[in-house]
A and B are shown apart, each in its own frame.
Chain A
């Protein structure tokens, strides 16, 4: 079989990868878009509303996800990994791809969810950040693209229930991985970020105190596709009346050896605070911060708006003391206004977790070195000249793969990467 050739390979199907792929495809280039999860959309597809305009995240991501899926110039491979990349001169990369077995024929699956209902196995749902379970055979999330079931073979007990109920006979337990090579003229890395794992810092008591949750969990609670009905305290299912945000959780933290700022958590916390005041009009929201970094277009105004709405901003880093029997969390903090330590109680504590690097992709470059910065972000080698260039000519970076950023910046950078890739393709394509 002769190898397929594409003008560009885009790795990562978050909003950055989608946008890069769409822009290149609109220019007439043939694009291969590879996503390791069963759906594209990345983190953005799972957010509630987005700052500073407060339009809903899915409203912006779903049309883009759908057009990437349908675009005649884009070949989309989900549940697929890139194993190896060899650079064979400028404009010429050989890529080894592996499609993971889905055990469901995507052509046949109609997303009827009957298999989900039939499956007896329940495991934590990674797309709901543990707020809810999912089955061993599952459709990733409500607005998934493509919306097809996949079978998670690791957790499957081979009871055969799904096979029995599937109306289209889509289930195939004998599915196998497919490995093949493709040739591409250029590469865009849009592999995004990893969420900081609060278990890395036991002081956060995450997993110990039930009413300590992460901001990503709060995004799910606030989203129209929330796993629960409304905003609830995990401990007893009641409505929280007093909520605290701990900013810089897993960022600007020398103890964790991670001094970087995550750039979006101040803003998304302010956003969540505003949304919470809308959803729970009687609730009080306290935001503990080191600096409020509201620096983008319209962001400072958004911050001032939150203040005017009555969100309480307290400069200082709090620590968790205790959990009461009803789940209330006792917090102590230095109140710089009164120059003294204070102790207060909250129904819910939200950790504004940071964005951590996802440099895993560096490994797949076999005969060229993809440089990362000292913390693991993909390094921009020409920051003040051509910022989307990486250490490998012909390989460009888009979105949060090169450092934390918000969605507008991610989308802009995705287009910048597309323009550099286009130039490179035109120069070297034969």
Chain B
């Protein structure tokens, strides 16, 4: 595990709620790990477990779901439904020999920049400790 290891994180954001929060984090120049890529979806309840597996297989070190939480404009039970998908994803990862800590979900309200930055930084540290993903097709 090299010193300069920088985990790469795929972030799923939601159009109305967490994406604006991430925008706001940028607007107020709050520092968060830059080795991230953001894909926005309408609602976090639409994230398929196999997206997460795919992301990690293809080279991401972790997936962060910036969920709608209570503010979800689509559904009140958003957290519940999204959590169900995350649980499925955790199972899927485990079946594939990947540490379940590589997925993280946090509800990020549309102005919760601090919550976002904090959660992401923590996740980054967790991934850093885990080290790179052991992929079958890779030889160290």
Contacts and interface: CB of A to CB of B under 8 A. Distances in A.
**Chains A and B touch each other in the complex, with CB atoms below 8 Å apart:** yes
Interface of A: 53-55, 278
A304 to B, nearest CB: 15
5 contacts: A53-B27, A54-B27, A54-B28, A55-B27, A278-B29
Contacts, number: 5
Nearest to B29: A278
A278 B28 CA distance: 10
Interface of B: 27-29
Contacts of B27: 53-55
A51 to B, nearest CB: 13
Nearest to B23: A55
B87 to A, nearest CB: 37
A54 B28 CA distance: 9
Contacts of A278: 29
A55 B27 CA distance: 8
B16 to A, nearest CB: 16
Contacts of B29: 278
Contacts of A54: 27-28
A53 B29 CA distance: 13
A278 B27 CA distance: 12
A355 B28 CA distance: 29
A244 to B, nearest CB: 25
Contacts of A53: 27
A344 B28 CA distance: 32
A420 B73 CA distance: 32
A55 B28 CA distance: 10
A247 B60 CA distance: 52
Nearest to A55: B27
A305 to B, nearest CB: 10
A54 to B, nearest CB: 6
> Closest 5 A-B residue pairs measured CB to CB?
A54-B27, A55-B27, A278-B29, A54-B28, A53-B27
B26 to A, nearest CB: 11
Contacts of A55: 27
A278 B29 CA distance: 10
B45 to A, nearest CB: 28
Nearest to A49: B27
Nearest to A54: B27
A225 B51 CA distance: 42
A40 to B, nearest CB: 26
Nearest to B24: A53
A310 to B, nearest CB: 16
B25 to A, nearest CB: 13
A143 to B, nearest CB: 20
A55 B26 CA distance: 11
Contacts of B28: 54
B71 to A, nearest CB: 17
A254 B28 CA distance: 40
Nearest to A56: B27
B30 to A, nearest CB: 13
A53 B20 CA distance: 12
A54 B25 CA distance: 12
B103 to A, nearest CB: 32
Nearest to A305: B28
B39 to A, nearest CB: 23
A127 B56 CA distance: 52
A311 to B, nearest CB: 16
B70 to A, nearest CB: 21
A54 B27 CA distance: 8
B47 to A, nearest CB: 29
B112 to A, nearest CB: 15
A89 B10 CA distance: 65
A277 to B, nearest CB: 11
B113 to A, nearest CB: 12
A54 B26 CA distance: 12
A303 to B, nearest CB: 16
A259 B81 CA distance: 59
A53 B28 CA distance: 10
A407 B47 CA distance: 38
A275 to B, nearest CB: 12
Nearest to B28: A54
A154 B27 CA distance: 43
B92 to A, nearest CB: 40
A54 B29 CA distance: 12
A53 B27 CA distance: 9
A78 to B, nearest CB: 32
